[in-house]
Each structure stands twice: as structure tokens, then as C-alpha cells.
Structure 1
């Protein structure tokens, strides 16, 4: 029986064009760090350090630890504490301005409210390459910051990223759920649908679908926000598992 919903964030609950968001984010943070770095060199270094997180499969290190180890693996003439303070200040003061790239959609908050009213456990299964503060900021943009989530996957606590299957295994371990109890909801064919390998059902949200490598789409369910809402209602009412839309 499905009793747990795993939601991707960017392009799923958060209705935006992911590439537009990332490009705007990189420009903004490079401007913030321009007093220390050449902007283009900073962006290249930031992306290299992010890829270190994405490629890491060492379960003894959190994504945060991997990121900062990679960032300071080159000659950085700034104390780590100072730079981390600048990053924290960026997420507090500058990051909220990125809300401008949001494509408002009333269904995001409605779907979450419905899920909690129907007593689902809810996980924000966003790719954990950002600190928790940045993720909560993005949830705030859709009036969804204060729901009682079972888990929000941030870089402080997670040890793997999408599309590694270990990321999803870690989620299931933390929330102590079996694959058959869960439905993963996302818009990225490669990053979100891979969880089917564990036996987790999937819903592919097509509004902002991403399929960068033109992979064959194999998902248990797919459709719009409205289709997703109907499925969530159906699952809990019938209580017999997933029914075909």
C-alpha cells in the first residue's frame, strides 16, 4: 500500500525551468563572490565542486563535506570559515531574489495540503546539492515551508545525489519504508525514474519534463498536476495500492 510520497522539487513542486533557474543562480552567486574571485573562474570552480558531490559514492562523507573538500582542493587564499559565512549570507539575503524565475502554479500547495490531509508521509526528495536553507527558501516560494515533512534531503545530511540509486536507498533507510510503500513524483526522466529499480512506483510530471539524454520513458504513471492530484486521492481512498490512471 502506498503511504509515502517522495516529491522532487525543481520543475515538480516548484514550477520553473531548471536551466533558467541554475543560470540565474550562478550569475547571482558569482556576483556575490566577486570580491574574492573572478566570476567566471568562481563559476567553473563551483561547478567542479558540485560535480564532485554528484560523482561521490563514499558513504562516509556527506555531500557538504565532499563539496568543501573539493572547493579547497585548489589554491584558495581565503579562510574556510570566512567563505562559508559568505555562502550562508548569500542564501539568507540574495538567494530569495531568484523567486522571479518561478512560474506560479496553484496546484503545488494544493497537492501538498491534500497529501497531508490524507495522512501521507511526505519526503522532499530534491537533489541534495544545496544546503537546507536554500531548499526551505524554495519551499517558501510556494507557501510550503512549514509542512511536517518526514524528510528533506539536503547536502548537510545526505551522502549521495541523483541519479545514483544509493540516494534513494538512503532515503528509504532514513524513513524506514519499503519500496512498495512509496511513490516517487518527479519531472526528470533520468534522475527521478531510476528509483523504479528498487521497486518504487513513479509518477512522471510532464509540465516541465526533462529528458536530457533522450532515454526511453518507463514510468508507472505520468501526466499533469491535475492527474497527479487525482492519483493521490485515488491511492488513499481505495487503499489497495496504485491504480492505473
Structure 2
């Protein structure tokens, strides 16, 4: 089997970490609102967060990280004092957010996929939508059992400048790792957010276990199947030892 692939990009939520998206987000806000109620308006905070998140996702200013775009939109719109509110958000992610692990359904298949890819010499990238801070991503990596996997890059809001489904999110990954689109495969469960990578020339694998499809647009995937099917696909890939050496040396920021 001959392949041009050098890197496998994995989504996290609903892919390497299976869970029901709506149930998780409901639980997330049920935990968040009381945790920050002392420094915000608890009746309005959910809508305010969604509004700022939408502004962050729509940001096209390359000089702004996603965190900076969110903070600008959020604090400009709400007028909240930035330092104490952000400190409270940080506290929430460090101490309360881990309780949401109960809403996820981790599987050892996720780790087996990543480790198999590494053993065969491929770069592995955790291409999770960077709308969450590093602490929240690291917690979810631990829940999934992949926190010690040497990912070439883990995308978080602190250092990325675009979000899915903006194609520039994928371009930024390619530029950071000096990769061409045809050398990559994006593996994820979201038709719109992950499928857009195919428009750049990446191969794509739609994971159907926790499928999200908003019914907007028509995006073709190179492959589709369950997470078990992803494992079988990776097991069938040829070995690339020269890439394997690099996979353990590229920093995640």
C-alpha cells in the first residue's frame, strides 16, 4: 500500500472522546453558571458567552489569537471587569470542569489509534476546535486516555488564530507543521467543521459514532465509518519511520 500521508489530524469531542454534544453542553453550562455567578449576571451569561464565541469563530484578524478575539468581544459587549471575571473562568476550568467527565464515554480505541499511527511513523495532531482554553482541552485529553500521546500540535484558543469551520484554521496547522494538504487526513465526526478540510485537498474520514450534521452544504468525505473503522484503517497504513522520528520532536505550541 502506497500513501502520501504524513500526518493524521484528529478531532477530539465526539471523535477520540465520544459523547453526546447537546447533553455535554447542557451539563457544561449547568456547572459554569453557578461557578461564575458572583462576578457576572447569571441570567444573561449563557447568551453572552455564545455571542462572544460566535464573534471568535467569525474572527478574520490574523493578529488576534482566539482567546484575544473572545475576550475583546465578551468584555466589550458585557462591560464586566476583565481581571476578576477571567480569573473566575480560569478557576472554573481548573477545578469544576473536570466533573464533566461523567458525561463522556471514553474508549481505549482512541489511544490505540493514536499509538498505532505513531508507531507507524505518522505525525498525529489533535485538531480540536480551538474555542476552549488549554486547561479544558488537557482535561478532555485525560478523560480520553491520550494526555501523554506526543501530539505534534494541540490546538487551543491561546495560540490558534482561527476556528472551525474556517478553512484558515487548517491552513494554520499546515503552516505550523510545514505540511501540504495532500499529506494530511482530517478525522472527525462533524460534517461541516471537519469536512471543510477536504476543500483544501486533505483526505477526510467522517467518524459516524457521534455524528454531527447541520444539513448545511454538501461535503464529500474520502472515508467514513466508526472509530473502530478508523483503527482498522490506521492499522493498514504503511510504516513511515522517517516521519516517526519527527513526530516525537515537534512541540505542541
Q: Is TM (by shorter chain) over 0.5?
A: yes
Instruction: Provide the alpha-carbon RMSD of the alignment.
Output: 1.6
Determine the structure 2 residue equivalent to 1:49: 52
1:77 offset after TM fit, Å?
4.2
Give the Å deviation of 1:238: 9.4
Alignment: residue pair count? 238
Separation in structure 1 between the aligned mates of residue 145 and residue 226 of structure 2, nearest angstrom: 20
Q: Does 1:163 align with 2:165?
A: yes
| Whole-angstrom distance in 2 between the partners of 1:228 and 1:207 | 11
Contact 1:189 1:215 in 2 (8 A): no
Deviations 1:182-240 (A, max 9, x none): 1100000000011111110000001111111254351000111221111112222599x
Q: Is this contact kept in 1: 2:10–2:186, CA < 8 A?
A: yes
Q: Which residue of 2 aligns with 1:189?
A: 191
Deviation at 1:106, TM superposition (A): 2.3
Aligned counterpart for 1:144 among listed residues 146, 152, 155: 146
Partner of 2:75: 72
CA distance in 2, matches of 1:8, 1:172: 15
Matched, 1:84 2:86: yes
- Deviation of 1:72 after TM superposition, in Å, equals 1.0
Q: Is this contact kept in 1: 2:66–2:162, CA < 8 A?
A: yes
Equivalent in the alignment of 2:251: none
Q: 1:34 is matched with which residue?
A: 37
Task: Give the aligned partner of residue 242 of structure 1.
Answer: none
Match of 1:221 among 202, 220, 223: 223
> What is residue 60 of structure 1 aligned with on the other side?
63
- Say which of 174, 196, 206 aligns to 2:208: 206
Structure 2 CA distance for aligned equivalents of residues 135 and 194 of structure 1: 22
* Aligned partners of 2:121 and 2:239 also within 8 Å: no
Conserved in 2, the CA contact under 8 Å of 1:2 and 1:235? no
Rounded to whole Å, the distance in 2 between the matches of 1:40 and 1:126 is 29
Q: Deviations along 1:83-123, whole A, 9 cap, x unmatched? A: 22111111110000000111232211111121222221111
1:120 aligns with 2:122: yes
Pick which of 212-221 and 49-58 moved more. 212-221
2:13 to 10, 13, 16: 10
* CA displacement, residues 130-185 of structure 1 (integer Å, 9 cap, x when unaligned): 01111011000022112111001100111110001111111100111011111100
* Greater Cα offset, 3-12 or 205-214: 205-214
TM-score normalized by the length of structure 1: 0.93
Runs of at least 5 residues in structure 1 that lack an aligned partner in the other structure: 240-245
Secondary structure of 2:158's partner? coil
Partner of 2:249: none
Which whole-Å CA distance do the structure 2 matches of 1:77 and 1:191 have between them? 31
Query: What is the aligned counterpart of 1:132 among 128, 131, 134?
Result: 134
Show CA shifts across 1:45-67 (max 9, x none): 11111111011111111110010
